[in-house]
């Protein structure tokens, strides 16, 4: 897009993949700057977070993902969903944002690049004093945690909530959001992350290398299981009689995986509707605004594990794919 890039450049740097595969399929390339449609915003990307979900989409495994993202090769050559940056240009119908605004939000793909085209409805203003890296870390993971705890589990003050993978991208937000909702929170993590999870205001921390939470006497009203290291039936033992378990390992695809497991568990293991609920999180602008408030008032603070420059996006995805991140991994552009 002539005029949008620096000195009117029409091309940009991006992490591009032409086929499914390991992180080495991602190559730093020069490509055309996308053109914003009528309701779109062209964002000059400052930072873009990467998720386990981005890793699965890059590899094209499990295969069922290819039904959505392209059968033979990825439909979107540039991966990446979450971003923060500055508005470089707006489409004809966009009135709420203007060139120069600092924004964060999500796209279906294409954020691992110098510029990304995003529907204006997917973006909100970055709260004052929040860095571009912190803002990019928020959208998908924090929205997932918020919707799981507030909307699906309907967490109420005084309830007991257990979060597995409490040191990870979703878990580190979930611990903080459960506290905001007034719950008594237990985070499950490894020894090296105990202090981190305590610093997120967890009331109790279970080190899974020493204690199996499914084998203690303690019972929880809500369990958000971001790891699914134990079978659902074992985790059910740790629920109160009216408790709710939300599995969220992302295994088998974002929606098909949880739905498949829940149908099987309900049919074969006698889980009730109340005991087991699928997490089908959907990005909503009003939830992003809620999160912007929580960030502005410092009730929620992103945890950043590592940042990588755009040219090393493959290394960022390799690291995320290994599954041991502490908070979020962000690519800076
Ligand atoms: N439904 C949705 O919309 C979304 C789903 N997801 C899914 O949620 C899952 C979690 O995502 P995310 O938080 O980003 O993942 P991360 O990779 O960021 O975090 C995983 C964390 O879990 C810890 N961990 C590993 N094994 C255990 C264990 N047995 N018990 C407790 N903690 C453990 C890891 O640390 P260590 O190994 O050091 O213990 C790491 O900190 C993913 O599978 C992802 O696909 C994510 C975003 C959206």
Partners of 117 in beta bridges: 42
51 lines ligand 1 (CB under 6 A): yes
324 lines ligand 1 (CB under 6 A): yes
Residue 57 has pLDDT above 90, yes or no: no
Position 75 scores a pLDDT of: 85
Distance CA 87, CA 300 (A): 25
What CATH number belongs to 140-276? 3.40.50.720
Compute the distance from residue 326 Cα to the ligand 1 centre, in Å. 9
230 lines ligand 1 (CB under 6 A): no
Compute the distance from residue 249 Cα to the ligand 1 centre, in Å. 7
Distance CA 131, CA 221 (A): 35
Residue 310 has pLDDT above 80, yes or no: yes
Distance CA 104, CA 138 (A): 8
Position 2 scores a pLDDT of: 44
Nearest CA to ligand 1 atom 47: 141
How large is the ipTM? 0.96
Same fold, 6-137+302-332 and 140-276: no
Compute the distance from residue 29 Cα to the ligand 1 centre, in Å. 30
pLDDT tens-digit readout, 67-107? 888 888 888 899 999 999 999 999 999 999 999 999 999 99
Position 197 scores a pLDDT of: 98
Probe residue for ligand 1, chosen from 197, 225, 226 as the CB with the greatest number of ligand atoms within 8 Å: 226
Architecture of the 6-137+302-332 domain = Alpha-Beta Complex (3.90)
Cα→Cα distances 35→3, 10, 76, Å = 11, 10, 15
Position 116 scores a pLDDT of: 98
Answer yes or no: are the C-beta atoms of 149 and 224 closer than 8 Å.
Answer: yes
Compute the distance from residue 171 Cα to the ligand 1 centre, in Å. 7
Residue 6 has pLDDT above 60, yes or no: no
Residue 125 has pLDDT above 70, yes or no: yes
Nearest CA to ligand 1 atom 24: 165
State mean pLDDT over 105-131: 96
Answer yes or no: are the C-beta atoms of 101 and 87 closer than 8 Å.
Answer: yes
Average pLDDT, the chain: 92
pTM for the structure as a whole:
0.94
At 36 the three-state DSSP class reads coil
Q: List the chain domain ranges.
A: 6-137+302-332, 140-276
Q: How confident is the model at residue 249 (pLDDT cuts 50, 70, 90)?
A: confident
Position 258 scores a pLDDT of: 65
Compute the distance from residue 226 Cα to the ligand 1 centre, in Å. 5
Answer yes or no: are the C-beta atoms of 49 and 136 closer than 8 Å.
Answer: yes
Closest CA to 208 of 226, 227, 185, 191: 191
Least trusted range by pLDDT, from 88-92, 116-120, 261-265 = 261-265
Q: How confident is the model at residue 139 (pLDDT cuts 50, 70, 90)?
A: very high
Probe residue for ligand 1, chosen from 82, 168, 260 as the CB with the greatest number of ligand atoms within 8 Å: 168
Cα→Cα distances 166→50, 122, 215, 226, 330, Å = 18, 27, 19, 8, 18
Compute the distance from residue 110 Cα to the ligand 1 centre, in Å. 23
């Amino acid at each position: 897009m002539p005029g949008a890039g620096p000195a009117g450049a029409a091309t940009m740097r991006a992490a591009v993949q032409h086929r499914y595969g390991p992180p080495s399929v991602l190559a730093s390339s020069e490509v055309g700057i996308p053109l914003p449609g009528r309701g779109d915003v062209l964002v000059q990307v400052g930072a873009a977070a990467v998720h386990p979900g981005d890793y699965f989409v890059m590899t094209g495994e499990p295969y069922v993902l290819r039904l959505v993202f392209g059968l033979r090769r990825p439909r979107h050559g540039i991966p990446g969903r979450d971003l923060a940056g500055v508005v470089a240009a707006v489409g004809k119908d966009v009135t709420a944002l203007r060139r120069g605004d600092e924004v964060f939000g999500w796209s279906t793909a294409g954020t691992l690049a110098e510029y990304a085209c995003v529907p204006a409805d997917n973006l909100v203003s970055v709260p004052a004093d929040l860095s571009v890296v912190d803002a990019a870390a928020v959208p998908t993971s924090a929205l997932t945690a918020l919707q799981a705890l507030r909307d699906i589990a309907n967490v109420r003050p005084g309830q007991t909530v257990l979060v597995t993978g409490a040191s990870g991208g979703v878990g580190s937000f979930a611990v903080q959001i459960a506290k905001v909702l007034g719950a008594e929170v237990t985070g499950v993590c490894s020894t090296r992350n105990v202090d981190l999870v305590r610093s997120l205001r967890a009331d109790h921390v279970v080190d899974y290398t020493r204690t199996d939470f499914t084998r203690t006497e303690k019972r929880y009203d809500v369990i958000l299981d971001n790891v699914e290291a134990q079978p659902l039936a074992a985790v059910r033992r740790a629920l109160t009689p009216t408790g709710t378990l939300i599995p969220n390992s992302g295994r088998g695809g974002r929606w098909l995986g949880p739905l498949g497991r829940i149908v099987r568990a309900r049919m074969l293991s006698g889980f009730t509707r109340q005991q087991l609920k699928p997490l089908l999180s959907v990005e909503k602008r009003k939830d992003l605004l809620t999160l912007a408030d929580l960030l502005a008032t410092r009730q929620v603070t992103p945890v950043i594990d590592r940042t990588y420059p755009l040219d090393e996006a493959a290394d960022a995805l390799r690291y995320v794919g290994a599954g041991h991140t502490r908070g979020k991994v962000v690519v800076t552009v």
